[in-house]
Amino acid sequence: AIVVAQPTRGLDIGATEYVRHKLAEQRHKGAAILLFSEDLDELLELSDRIAVIYEGRIVDILPAAAAAPERLGLLMAGGGDGE
């Protein structure tokens, strides 16, 4: 298993692409990756499932293919259904 937190924060574009490529490569090889990030593009590119945490609690778990950035942003800010 691989655990990474904010793996591309502060990196230039080339380094960011390299890190994302290496993580995707490991995922395709079958590695489990636990990725913590506030970068929605990164989460959507690298994840199969996205768990959103707000105030220390998981508020939703979504398949990445069905997760809209707007929905994720709302959940990350504490908004939920009907809010």
Q: Which of 4, 67, 22, 18 is nearest to 41 (CA)?
A: 67
In this predicted structure, the answer to whether residue 82 has a pLDDT above a threshold of 50 is no
In this predicted structure, the answer to whether residue 59 has a pLDDT above a threshold of 50 is yes
Is pLDDT larger for residue 61 or for residue 80? 61
Q: Of how many residues is the chain composed?
A: 83
CA distance 27 to 46: 8
pTM: 0.77
Buried b (16+ CB within 10 A) or exposed e, 1-37: eeeeeebbeeeeeeebeebbeebeeebeeeeebebeb
Residue 39, Cβ density class (10 Å: 0-12 exposed, 13-18 middle, ≥19 buried): middle
What one-letter code names the amino acid at 57?
R
Question: Domain spans of the chain?
Answer: 1-47, 52-83
